[in-house]
């Protein structure tokens, strides 16, 4: 049996649910643009009956995402938005604080520099600067990359509690991407322990043939590892020897970003 909405539409519960979410987001976008708006304005803007707009605003108000102004009948965004934004501001801060450091490092190292964070069982790249000698034009920003096969991923894995690391690796599937990818759990654990001991992780053609990378941890105010700073380049030039020579520069850069994030360690 189908459901009838307040707007006279006929649809199943799932469709109605998606439509309601879409409309609720539209309402918040309208309030963000206008500062405040009444029920009639909102209804006209998203092309629904006033009763539907009133219901949407009521649901958002109950969650603190919108609030009524002193002038009853007018609505504006509520402080619940700040609570939600707090979940991503840390990531935005990392990019903002890391930008000048990444730009300097890309010049000093001559290769592509990235900042990545953990997202479920992937490392997602937030920011990238290509060095003067960077080969190719690949943009890693927004890309989800495998944790076990990337230097950033290894650093993020290495600093997870053992149980959480095991669950994350199981969820990831640990696919073999090249002949050099570490897929044996014991071997990877040994590699991660070495990364913690020396302060940086290395991948040698483990994600992509011809690509080497190195990453160091970025820490938050409380000393927790929240991101990875990496440099990557072609294997013929960014050799294992060169990686170890340049690692102190990367560690210094990661420490600087950490300090900018409020880490005193």
Stretch 8-29: mean pLDDT, rounded?
Answer: 73
> How many Å separate Cα 206 from the centre of its chain?
22
Angle, in degrees to the nearest 10, between helices 13-34 and 50-62: 80
Q: Which of 84, 102, 124 is the last residue of a domain?
A: 84
Is 7 contained in some domain? no
Q: Which domain holds residue 77?
A: 19-84
Residue with tokens 């409309």: 23
Is 147 contained in some domain? yes
**pLDDT of res. 14:** 55
Q: What is the pLDDT of residues 105-148, one digit of tens each?
A: 999 999 999 999 998 899 999 999 988 877 666 777 888 899 99
Q: Which of 189-193, 212-216, 258-262 has the lowest mean pLDDT?
A: 258-262
Over 70: is that where the pLDDT of 91 sits? no
Residue 103 shares a structural domain with residue 163: yes
Share of the chain above pLDDT 90, in %: 68
Is 8 contained in some domain? no
Q: pLDDT category, 80, cuts 50, 70, 90?
A: confident
Phi-psi region of 228 (alpha: psi -120 to 50; beta: other; left: phi over 0): beta
Residue 50 shares a structural domain with residue 104: no
Residue 67 shares a structural domain with residue 99: no
Q: Which pair of structure tokens corresponds to residue 75?
A: 């609505």
Angle at 10 between CA 8 and CA 15, to 5 degrees: 120
Residue 73 shares a structural domain with residue 130: no
Cβ(69)–Cβ(75) under 8 Å?
yes
Share of the chain above pLDDT 70, in %: 89
Domain of residue 192, CATH code: 3.30.450.40
Residue 80 shares a structural domain with residue 98: no
Domains of the chain: total: 2
Residue 97 shares a structural domain with residue 67: no
**Mean pLDDT, the chain, as a whole number?**
88
Residue 78 shares a structural domain with residue 122: no
Over 90: is that where the pLDDT of 45 sits? yes
Query: For 171, which DSSP code?
Result: H
Q: What is the pLDDT of residues 220-254, one digit of tens each?
A: 888 899 999 999 999 999 999 999 999 999 999 99
Query: For 229, which DSSP code?
Result: E
């Amino acid at each position: 049996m189908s459901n009838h909405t307040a707007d006279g539409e006929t649809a199943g519960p799932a469709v109605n649910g998606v439509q309601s979410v879409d409309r609720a987001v539209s309402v918040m976008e309208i309030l963000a643009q206008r500062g405040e708006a009444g029920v009639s304005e909102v209804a006209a803007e998203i092309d629904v009956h006033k009763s539907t707009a009133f219901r949407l605003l009521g649901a958002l108000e109950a969650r603190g995402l919108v609030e009524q102004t002193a002038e009853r009948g007018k609505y504006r965004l509520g402080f619940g938005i700040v609570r939600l934004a707090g979940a991503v501001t840390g990531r935005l801060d990392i990019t903002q604080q890391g930008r000048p450091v990444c730009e300097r490092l890309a010049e000093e190292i001559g290769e592509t520099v990235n900042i990545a964070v953990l997202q479920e069982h992937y490392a997602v790249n937030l920011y990238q600067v290509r060095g003067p000698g960077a080969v190719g034009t690949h943009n890693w920003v927004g890309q989800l990359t495998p944790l076990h096969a990337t230097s950033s991923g290894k650093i993020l894995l290495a600093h997870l509690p053992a149980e959480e690391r095991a669950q994350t690796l199981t969820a990831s599937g640990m696919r073999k991407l090249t002949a050099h990818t570490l897929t044996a759990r014991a071997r990877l654990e040994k590699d991660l322990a070495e990364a913690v001991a020396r302060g940086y992780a290395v991948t040698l053609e483990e994600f992509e043939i011809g690509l080497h990378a190195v990453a160091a941890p970025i820490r938050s105010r409380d000393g927790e590892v929240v991101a990875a700073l990496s440099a990557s380049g072609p294997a013929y030039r960014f050799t294992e020897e060169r990686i170890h020579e340049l690692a102190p520069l990367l560690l210094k850069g990661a420490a600087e970003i950490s300090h900018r994030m409020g880490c005193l360690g």
